[in-house]
Amino acid sequence: MPATIAIIGRPNVGKSTLFNRLLRKRKAITHDRPGVTRDRLDGEAVLAGVPVNLIDTGGLTLEDPQGLELDVLEQARRAVEAADLVLLVVDGREGITSEDERVAGLLRQSGKPVLVAVNKVDGGEKEALYTADFHSLGLDLAPVSAEHGFGMRTLVDDMLARLPEFEDEADRPETELTLSLLGRPNAGKSSIINALVGDARLIVSEEAGTTRDAVDVAFEKDGRRTVFVDTAGVRRRTKIEDSLERIASLTALGSGRRADVTILAVDGPGGLAMQDKRLIAYLDKEKVPFMVAVNKVDLVDAKGLAALKQEMSEELRICPHVPVLFVSALTGKGLRDVLPTARAIREECRIRVGTGELNRLLREAVERHQAPLVKGKRPKFYYLTQTDTVPATFVFFVNDPERIKASYARYLENQLRKLFGIRHAPIKLMFRGSRQRNEDGDIIQRPRPAPQKPGTPKKRSPRAGSDRVAKSVETEDRPVKTASSRPASPKPAGPKPSGSRTGAPKARAPRSGAGKPGAGKSKPSSTRPGEKSGTGRKRPPRPGTKKG
């Protein structure tokens, strides 16, 4: 077992900031308001290669504590009892206070080794000034800045030097199951965890909004280790005006992603509120494995319990696979079914089915009940495969996903659940089309070749190494023929015609009808020098002459 270090101090001295710095992640909520942390938070860290267990506690008020301050004090006392080293955090800027002296005196009575971390020392030049007052406590000091990281290496070395050496013991069993509790404020989430663990691990109060951080509670039984995550109550966003409550709500919603199964706690006497319906819709949309635990049924009579069951069955029509348990954290009624149900959901989420078996199911399901027509056309299913687990994700390859109606998708989901025994785990169905679509959602048609006339040979594109490529290569090496290299054509023998002169245009060849009178006479050429004959072009009229 690793050593345990408890972080103790009065409110608003930076305990949670130092806790996050040692863990190297933001697990505890930090705020300028004092008294944010109430329950003690556990975290596993590795300091210079040594695994340790860190415990963050709420701010202690030893002068006339009242209400929640007494519960916070009890949680801190239990953390000190379980710790091997106590890290007392003080504010170096404010200096020593009477509350710091009371906390130091309480820690001396515990008999545990104590190290004082003087926080908010932003540099070495202020180290002597900020630590001068705390020498009166008679404890070893370590100036640090949890926000900026100053002095953290020295602090880690001082803590490891004071930790006892632990012999290698049997390894702790791995975490088998992680359960996150979600619900409205004052629905009894902390009470359910305390009842399942059998210990007052979390602060329980009639005041709504007691829990703020996401608190991990480990529980071992029969060699199985289960971790419960208690979260703050989630209200409607429009009703949240406090920034601290908004941060706590976001942390609560995010805790379901790192848990195996989420338990939605519902206040039984208050009935199913609108916020409960929103949370159910959110969990179903995100495909989170969850179950519903209706708490405080000991305060509901038999008639009211029957009405509550009827209401739950009607509201869960959007996700009928979700199991509903009616429990009582006070009397323990129905709590023994929580862990077995959660384990069954977790095992169903890990189901993996082969592609061949899935396609046989698809063929039988489509033959049993065909998909309805959409705009006169019926969708075609090509094949089915499973792409992921937790949740189980099945992808259907079809010709057009828009033709799949929601009712037929539910039919396919029911067939998968019935055949593979998936009763309570969520299933995610995806329909992927074989055609590509543009940004507007229209199907992109592939260009088709133009139809050829019958009897015409098909044109084939030249391939590498073909005759066309070879001929083009040969023509590059051939010499270019010029006018001087061409052989002169032989001139006809005989006397030259009278009146012929060099460069004069030749007479045209006689047209048809040369036997007519005057056909043999040649007409004078009307072309200009440098102009081709027979082009059909007319000479423009001279300026100053009338046309026609």
The residues, ordered by sequence, that sit 6+ positions from 334 with a Cβ below 8 Å of its Cβ are 297, 325, 326, 327, 328
Q: Over 70: is that where the pLDDT of 470 sits?
A: no
Pairwise pLDDT comparison (399 vs 1), residue with the higher score: 399
Q: Does 60 carry a binding-site annotation? A: yes
Q: Does 184 carry a binding-site annotation? A: yes
Q: Does 10 carry a binding-site annotation? A: yes
**pLDDT single digits (tens) 245-301:** 888 888 888 887 789 999 999 999 988 899 999 999 999 999 999 999 999 999 988
Q: Does 16 carry a binding-site annotation? A: yes
Predicted local distance difference test score (pLDDT) of residue 238: 76
CATH 3.40.50.300 residue ranges of the chain are 4-161, 177-350
CATH 3.30.300.20 residue ranges of the chain are 355-442
What is the rounded CA–CA span in Å between residue 345 and residue 264? 14
Arithmetic mean of pLDDT, 350-361: 92
Predicted local distance difference test score (pLDDT) of residue 457: 64
DSSP 8-state symbol, 141: E
Cβ atoms of 144 and 18 closer than 8 Å:
yes
pLDDT band at 488; cut points 50, 70, 90:
low
**pLDDT single digits (tens) 51-78:** 999 999 999 988 888 888 899 999 999 9
Q: Over 60: is that where the pLDDT of 432 sits?
A: yes
Q: Does 58 carry a binding-site annotation? A: yes
Query: Pick from 293, 375, 391: which is nearest to 334 by CA?
Result: 293
According to DSSP, the β-strands at 141-143 and 3-8 are: unpaired
Q: Which fold has domain 355-442?
A: GMP Synthetase; Chain A, domain 3 (3.30.300)
Q: Does 59 carry a binding-site annotation? A: yes
The residues, ordered by sequence, that sit 6+ positions from 121 with a Cβ below 8 Å of its Cβ are 92, 127, 130, 131, 143, 144, 145, 150, 151
Q: Does 183 carry a binding-site annotation? A: yes
What is the rounded CA–CA span in Å between residue 161 and residue 307? 62
Q: Does 121 carry a binding-site annotation? A: yes
Q: Over 90: is that where the pLDDT of 375 sits?
A: no
pLDDT band at 485; cut points 50, 70, 90:
very low
Predicted local distance difference test score (pLDDT) of residue 254: 85
- Highest mean predicted confidence (pLDDT) among 20-24, 460-464, 510-514: 20-24
Predicted local distance difference test score (pLDDT) of residue 484: 47
Q: Does 43 carry a binding-site annotation? A: no
Q: Does 53 carry a binding-site annotation? A: no
Predicted local distance difference test score (pLDDT) of residue 382: 92
Cβ atoms of 18 and 55 closer than 8 Å:
no
Predicted local distance difference test score (pLDDT) of residue 205: 84
**Burial classification of residue 40, based on how many CB atoms lie within 10 Å of its CB (0-12 exposed, 13-18 middle, 19 or more buried):** buried
**pLDDT single digits (tens) 123-174:** 888 889 999 999 999 999 999 999 999 999 999 999 999 998 765 555 667 8
Q: Looking at the domain covering 4-161, what would its CATH class be?
A: alpha beta
Pairwise pLDDT comparison (535 vs 151), residue with the higher score: 151
pTM, 2 dp: 0.74
Q: Looking at the domain covering 177-350, what would its CATH class be?
A: alpha beta
Average pLDDT of the chain? 82
DSSP 8-state symbol, 309: H
Predicted local distance difference test score (pLDDT) of residue 298: 92
pLDDT band at 500; cut points 50, 70, 90:
very low
Predicted local distance difference test score (pLDDT) of residue 444: 55
Q: Does 116 carry a binding-site annotation? A: no
Q: Does 298 carry a binding-site annotation? A: yes
pLDDT band at 342; cut points 50, 70, 90:
very high
Q: Does 187 carry a binding-site annotation? A: yes
Q: Does 215 carry a binding-site annotation? A: no
Q: Does 380 carry a binding-site annotation? A: no
Q: Does 111 carry a binding-site annotation? A: no
**Which percentage of the chain shows pLDDT scores above 90?**
49
DSSP string, 270-300: T---HHHHHHHHHHHHTT--EEEEEE-GGGS
Cβ atoms of 25 and 214 closer than 8 Å:
no
Predicted local distance difference test score (pLDDT) of residue 258: 82
